[in-house]
Every structure is written in C-alpha cells, then in structure tokens.
C-alpha cells in the first residue's frame, strides 16, 4: 500500500511548533548556537512532511515563483561553499589580503570555499531550515488553520512585552535578559535587541486585527476576543513608545493604518461602540505612552545615527571591492573590521551594518540582489492581488500577511530583524500565507464564503 501524505492538520501542528519555538528561543541573530541548532532540528519533521505533501498533491506550481527564489537562496549558499583551487581563489575580488596572509603562513596551496568565512556561511545556510519549513508548511494548510496559527504572533508579542516589563522592574544584570549581548536598559523581552522586539510588535497588529469581530457564538455576550485584541493594540502602542525604538515608533503609524484598513476591507465592520472603543484605546495609549516616555523617546530621536552614517559608506566601499559574488554570508564582521580606519573605530564593534540590503550585497553580491529583486516583484504582485481580492477569510489573511511582511521589509532597510530566527519565521509564515490564498475545498466554496448577508467576521469561533 502506498502511504498517504501528511494531513493539513499535522502540517499545521508542526508549523505551529516550529513557529512558536522560534518566537520563544530565536530572538538573537548570532548568539546561543545550542538554541539555534535545536530549532534547526525541530524544523526537520515539518520540512520533510511539507515536501512530501507538496510532492503527493502535485502542488509545486502554486509555489513556483517563491519556490524558485528559495532555491536561488540555497544555491547561493552552496555556491559560496564550493571548494576552489588556489589559482582561482587567490585572485578573486577582495580575497587578496586573506591570500597574502595564507601565503605568509605557508597555507596557500589548499583548496578553499569561495566564502571568506565558510564556517559562518554554513551556519547561515543551516539557519535557513526553520523559515523554509514554516514557509512550506503555511502553504499546505486550510485558511482556518492559518488563522489560528496567526494568533501565535500577537500572543508572542504580548508575552514578550510582559517579559520586557519584568526586565525594566528587575535587575539589569538579572536572568530575565536571556542574551549576553543585549540592550539591558530596554524592555527587549524575548529578544536581544530592542529593534527586533519592536519589529515583532508592529508586525503582530495586522494579524491581531483579524480577530477584532465577535464570533456568531458570542452574540448577546460580551465580545471578549475583540476586547482583548483592542487591549493588545493599547499595550503595543505604549510598549513601542517606552521601548524607544525609532524604527518601531515610525512603523507603528503605517501598522495601525493598515490594520484599520484591513478591518474594513476585510468585511470586518464594527458596530459603532466597538469602533469608538478602539479609537479611544489607540488615542489613550498614545497619550499615556507619551506622558510616560516622551523625554527618553525625544532624546533617542535626537541621537544622530550612532555611527551608522560612518559605517554605511565603509561597508559600501568594502562591498564594491568584493563584487560580483560578495565575501560570503556572515562575513560582514570580519570584512568590516579590516576596512575600518583608525578614525572610524569605536570602542564597540559592528555585528551588522543596520541596513540588511547593503549587508546582503556585501556578503552575497549581485546574485543576492538579483534574487531580492525577483522576490520583491513576486511580493508586490501577491500583495496587490490580496488587496484586490474578495473580502473572504483567505483574502483577509493574505492582506494581513502582506502588511506584516511589508513592515519587516521596510524595517530591514535600517536594521536586520530577519537575521533572527523569530522574525525570519514570522516573515516566512506571512509569505506562505500570501502564496496560496485558499485550499481546493475552500476555492469550491468561495462564493458562499465571500458573499451574502450572512457573511460574518473572520475569527468566528475564536
């Protein structure tokens, strides 16, 4: 007998386990290798089952565009790890200093991978396993399953905010800060960096907005679910102001506006009391947050870039010298240290350039930028299709996913949130939702779902 492929229920459970694991334990970009290895191993059953189900159902065509992009990313990693003979390696762009050091050490005759930091590049490649697995899993679920899984993101944001409050009230050197290198004066929550905490907070709001209407079963009773969601909006706003992440505060505005647009475009019209309540909570949270944290936030915005304006040109110059293939994924720290001048050195060192697109160009060259361009073309088309589509459950999920992923793409221009497994998996989940808006069974019933006076809020049964 031929074995049946994994069910969508099993896929959704495995996807939830990996997504939740990464949200809790994947809050740093380079630290705690043991945790990262555990998350990579955790993702293997999901990756196997998702690939098996795709193959059994013949659904590769549905992920052709983003699937090719995933293959291109994996191909870049493998290309950087292919051993090359010394006659080629020693003459590659940007490799001259390393080649000279190897020659002086008498180690210049061995074949070496293209990457200047092959061990780090290999680790970066393995770290792709959880987000790839989550992406494939999200494309194999029914919309109701995706809706329930999307709840993990605002839930993780609420938990992370709670941890952040405890951090501010406790010892800055205490155990509630889970990473050695962290912003110990901030409510970083489950993350090592306040900007990555802020990324989760702004990305959670569009998914939370999906639950802003009471279910059919709650008629005649207090709408507990929507009230909890409105409360989450309030604490996220206050949390972002107190957190003092400039990117987070600036991205809060489009996140709120897009979440509001999502509720109306998605057929989630409130009654007037709920609309007034949400408006009051948002305004009250902004006022309260500014009363509590305006001074530190103002001081944060008055800080002139903290050296980023100096580091970016240096990184760009180093990147240009390494083209067309870059220095290898994960090589930024080593390359930047060699490119700094005495005048631009600080007491601290740069782990990242705080512009992930520039860093990607430095580490993976023109191939990475071409892959990124291909992804942006696919993402733009998928986002436009989502917002033009019918206001049914699959369409509303796709719209929320487009907002969350778009906010992370913007944030990546001034930071590196997607280099954490937590935010990489949130992004991957959003992309997986955008790929396949409905299952075959849902497509057959789309007219019934998306039309008629009985159409109710998404989140029914929540």
- If one counts every other C-beta atom within 10 angstroms of the C-beta of residue 417, the result is 29
Q: Which residue blocks in 194-243 are alpha helix, DSSP H?
A: 194-209, 224-243
The SS3 assignment for 282 reads helix
3-state secondary structure 236-261: HHHHHHHHCCHHHHHHHHHHHHHHHH
Q: What are the pLDDT digits (tens) for 1-45? A: 567 888 989 999 999 999 999 999 999 876 667 889 999 999 999
Distance CA 360, CA 77 (A): 12
> Which phi and psi (to 5°) does residue 4 adopt?
-75, 145
Q: What are the pLDDT digits (tens) for 303-332? A: 765 566 677 888 888 889 899 999 999 888
pLDDT at residue 458 in the model: 35
Burial class (CB in 10 A: 0-12, 13-18, 19+), 305: exposed
Q: Taken in order 71, 72, 74, 75, is the CA torsion positive or negative?
A: positive
Distance CA 38, CA 36 (A): 5
pLDDT at residue 244 in the model: 84
Indicate the helix (H) or strand (E) that contains 32. none
Long-range contacts of 271-275 (CB under 8 A, 24+ apart): 274/212, 274/223, 274/226, 274/230
- Supply the DSSP symbol for 186: S
Residue ranges for the chain with pLDDT beneath 50: 216-218, 220, 348, 438-441, 443-462
pLDDT at residue 445 in the model: 40
Any residues with CB less than 8 A from the CB of 282 and at least 6 apart, and which? 233, 234, 237, 256
Distance CA 43, CA 30 (A): 18
Distance CA 202, CA 192 (A): 17
The SS3 assignment for 113 reads strand
Residue for token pair 């907070």: 201
pTM of the full predicted structure? 0.89
Q: Which of 40, 20, 283 is nearest to 157 (CA)?
A: 20
Tokens of 13: 């459970």
């Amino acid at each position: 007998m031929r074995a049946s492929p994994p069910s969508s229920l099993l896929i959704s459970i495995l996807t939830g386990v990996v997504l939740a694991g990464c949200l809790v334990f994947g809050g740093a970009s380079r630290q705690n290798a043991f945790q990262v290895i555990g998350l990579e191993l955790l993702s293997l059953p999901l990756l196997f089952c998702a690939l098996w189900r795709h193959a059994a159902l013949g659904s590769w065509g549905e992920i052709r565009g983003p699937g090719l992009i995933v293959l291109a990313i994996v191909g870049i990693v493998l290309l950087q790890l292919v051993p090359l003979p010394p006659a080629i390696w020693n003459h590659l762009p940007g490799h001259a200093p390393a080649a000279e050091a190897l020659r002086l050490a008498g180690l210049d005759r061995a074949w070496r991978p293209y990457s200047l930091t092959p061990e780090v590049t290999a680790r970066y490649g393995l770290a792709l396993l959880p987000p790839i697995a989550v992406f494939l899993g999200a494309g194999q679920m029914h919309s109701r399953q995706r809706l329930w899984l999307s709840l993990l993101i605002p839930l993780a944001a609420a938990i992370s905010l709670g941890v952040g409050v405890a951090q501010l009230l406790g010892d800055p050197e205490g155990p509630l800060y889970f990473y050695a290198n962290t912003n110990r004066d901030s409510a970083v929550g489950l993350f090592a960096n306040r900007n990555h905490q802020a990324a989760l907070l702004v990305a959670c709001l569009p998914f939370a907005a999906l639950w802003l209407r009471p279910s059919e079963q709650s008629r005649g009773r207090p709408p507990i679910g929507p009230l909890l969601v409105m409360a989450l909006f309030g604490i996220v706003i206050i949390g972002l102001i107190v957190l003092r992440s400039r990117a987070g505060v600036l991205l809060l505005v489009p996140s709120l506006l897009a979440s509001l647009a999502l509720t109306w475009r998605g057929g989630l019209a409130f009654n007037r009391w709920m609309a007034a309540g949400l408006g009051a909570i948002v305004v009250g949270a902004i006022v309260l947050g500014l009363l509590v944290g305006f001074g530190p936030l103002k001081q944060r915005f008055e800080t002139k870039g903290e050296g980023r304006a100096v580091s970016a040109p240096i990184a760009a110059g180093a990147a240009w010298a390494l083209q067309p293939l870059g220095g290898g994924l994960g090589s930024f720290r080593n390359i930047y240290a060699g490119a700094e001048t005495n005048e631009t050195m600080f007491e601290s060192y740069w782990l990242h350039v705080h512009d992930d697109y520039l860093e990607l160009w430095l580490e993976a060259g023109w191939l990475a930028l071409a892959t990124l361009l291909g992804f942006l073309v696919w993402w733009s088309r998928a986002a436009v299709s989502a917002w033009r589509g019918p206001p049914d459950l699959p369409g509303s999920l796709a719209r929320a996913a487009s907002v969350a992923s778009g906010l992370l793409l913007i944030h990546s221009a001034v930071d590196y949130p997607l280099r954490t497994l937590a935010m990489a998996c949130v992004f991957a989940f959003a992309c997986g939702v955008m790929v396949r808006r409905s299952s075959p069974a849902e497509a057959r019933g789309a007219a019934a779902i998306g039309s008629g006076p009985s159409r109710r809020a998404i989140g029914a049964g929540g």
